[in-house]
Amino acid sequence: MKKSSSTILLSNLTGLITLGVLLLLNNLPVYSQEVSTRLPIPPLLDYELSRDGTKVFELVADEGEVQFFNGVSTKTLGYNGNYLGPTIRVRRDDQVSIDVENRLSKPTTIHWHGADVPAESDGGPHQGIRPRRSWTASFQVRQQAATLWYHPHFIETTGQQVYEGLAGLLIIDDDDSDALMIPDEYGVNDIPIILQERRFNQDGLFQYRPRMPDVVHGYFGNELLVNGAIKPYLEVSRGLTRLRLLNGSNSTLLQLRFEGVESVYQIASDGGYLEEPLALSRIILSPGERVEVLVDFRTSDSENARLIAGTNGGANYNAMEFRVGTQISEYQSVPDTLIPIKPIPESEAQLTRRFELQSGMGGRMLINGKTMKMNRIDERVRLGDTEIWQIINRDGSGMGMMGGMMNQPHSFHIHAVQFQILDINGEPPPPELSGWKDTILIWPGDQFRVITRFQSYPGVYMYHCHLLEHEDNGMMGQFEIEGD
């Protein structure tokens, strides 16, 4: 097992603290009367097998209502329910089709974040579903076991729709993941954890009205939802429990740490397993990023095991509690190795493209000086090519274009592929970022080089900052994969 390198962590921490001080909000919760609830587990979505062996799933996006606080109803959105959506679980090589019905009053789309799917099934801004219409995504699963997720991606309204509850997990299994000796019973010792910071107003309603400073610096909240519940608890046995963590916030960066547990090991990043479990004490997740961890509760004192989430808005949440029973888990030790990762050699790359992320005038968020245009293809990539993408956060130093000091983190997500990080400011990535990634957090002034093979399908895909208010305000571009 490796130890997490602390240099990057330290600079990240300093970043968080500086931002916390800069952007400190009044984060006093409006309510003290939380519903003390067991952690809700999104149900696994059933499917029908069609005659040709396709797994057919159905999702319905609709309006709903949830009591996040005792006696107060909040208007929400959800898939097949009031808030969030069911977990879709598929296997490598599966032929999958997912029918999506839009019962909202607004157009939506549904995007499979992290998945290698044909462009017309990607669910990006070009695959809008009008109210009372349906749409079907069809694809074969041809990537390794990973925790992916799905969410709306309609142009300029992604932030709003995700905020009100539209999101769910998409889990891929394969033979290699089956062979690992790690907890894999969904909802029992293999637990999905969707973390979302939200702002509730005095009436207990979601308040989503980002103004210009919120757009630029982040739409911070006053509560942290865990699978749609406030400060829930989960019963765990003595031994290892696996958690699949997703930061489902719009723009809040989370710094996670476990208290009262023996140890925590990261086993997977966005697109699949690490090569070996990595002992760590803190996890930094930007919106859209996932990690899987094994948490060791062997010696936990039942009253004190908890997950703490700090934010770059200055909040510190007691996110959830773990009630450790007397039952002994059959998983007592972490495996020595997980899944090998073959580095993509730099010499294989045909070219390097450069992407500069920067805040512009009037809350317009720019990539290479441009905001997103639906009818403009920004980059053309040849199917099968290997490329290096160099991504730079230009909101790092000196005077920003807004006239003040800009010190704003961004992130970068590429559709259709998983990539490897070659270097960060010229240094090799720390072990927690050495696996397959589809979304990276880029601190002010930092530069990443990532490498990937564009082996997906011909068609138009997106790349963007995954801080949703940035994405909705222009920090997105389109690349077309061109086949021959």
Q: Which of 236, 309, 462, 467 binds ligand C2O (CB under 6 A)?
A: 462
Can you tell me which of 198, 238, 306, 464 binds ligand C2O, judged by CB under 6 A?
A: 464
Q: Is 394 in the site for ligand C2O (CB under 6 A)?
A: no
Shortest distance, position 211 Cβ to Cu ion, whole Å: 17
Q: Which is nearer to ligand C2O, 113 or 394 (CB)?
A: 113
What does 465 bind: Cu ion, ligand C2O, none (CB cut-off 5 to 8 Å by kind)?
Cu ion
Look at residue 288 and give the partner it binds from Cu ion, ligand C2O, none, a contact being a CB closer than 5 to 8 Å depending on partner kind: ligand C2O
Q: Which stretch binds Cu ion (CB under 5 A): 106-114, 239-247, 315-323, 394-402?
A: 106-114
Count CB atoms within 10 A of the CB of residue 360: 18
Q: Are 383 and 455 in contact (CB under 8 A)?
A: yes
The distance of closest approach from Cβ of residue 234 to ligand C2O in the complex, given in angstroms and rounded to an integer, is 26
289-348: which residues touch Cu ion (CB under 5 A)?
Answer: none
Residue 449 as a binder of Cu ion (CB under 5 A): the answer is no
| 466 forms part of the interface with Cu ion (CB under 5 A) | no
φ, ψ for residue 305 (rounded to 5)?
Answer: -85, 120
Written as six digits, the tokens of 22 are: 């800069």
CB of 163 to ligand C2O, least distance (A): 14
Residue 464 interface partner, choices Cu ion, ligand C2O, none, CB cut-off 5-8 Å depending on type: ligand C2O
Asked if residue 23 lies in contact with residue 220, where contact means CB atoms within 8 angstroms, the answer is yes
3-state SS string for 91-148 = ECCCEEEEEEEECCCCCECCEEECCCCCHHHCCCCCCCECCCCEEEEEEECCCCCEEE
> Which of the stretches 135-143, 183-191, 239-247, 458-466 binds ligand C2O when contact is defined by CB under 6 A?
458-466
Q: Which residue is nearest to ligand C2O (CB)?
A: 113
x-marked contacts with ligand C2O along 110-139 as a string, rule CB under 6 A: -x-x--------------------------
Output the smallest distance, CB 339 to ligand C2O, in A.
23
Nearer to Cu ion, 199 or 464 (CB): 464
* Exposure letters 317-348 (e unless 16+ CB within 10 A, then b): bebbbbebeeeebebeebeeebbebeebeeee
Minimum CB separation of residue 378 from ligand C2O in Å reads: 14
The one of ligand C2O, Cu ion, none whose footprint includes residue 410, by CB under 5 to 8 A per kind, is: Cu ion
Q: Does the CA dihedral 249-187-175-331 come out positive or negative?
A: positive
Window 147 to 166, contacts with ligand C2O (CB under 6 A): 151, 153
288 makes contact with ligand C2O (CB under 6 A): yes
CB of 26 to Cu ion, least distance (A): 24
Nearest-approach distance from CB 120 to ligand C2O, in angstroms: 15
Tokens of 371: 């905001």
Contact between 290 and ligand C2O per CB under 6 A: no
Q: Does 169 bind Cu ion (CB under 5 A)?
A: no
Name residue 400's beta-bridge partners: none
Q: Which stretch binds Cu ion (CB under 5 A): 183-191, 306-314, 331-339, 468-476?
A: 468-476
In angstroms, what is the minimal distance from the CB of 442 to Cu ion?
8
Asked if 123 and 113 touch (Cβ cutoff 8 Å), the reply is: no
At closest approach, how far in Å is the CB of 174 from ligand C2O?
Answer: 22
Q: In what order do the strands lie in the sheet with 168-173?
A: 88-91, 168-173, 146-151, 111-113
Residues of this chain that bind ligand C2O (CB under 6 A): 111, 113, 151, 153, 288, 413, 415, 462, 464, 466
Residues of this chain that bind Cu ion (CB under 5 A): 113, 410, 415, 465, 467, 470
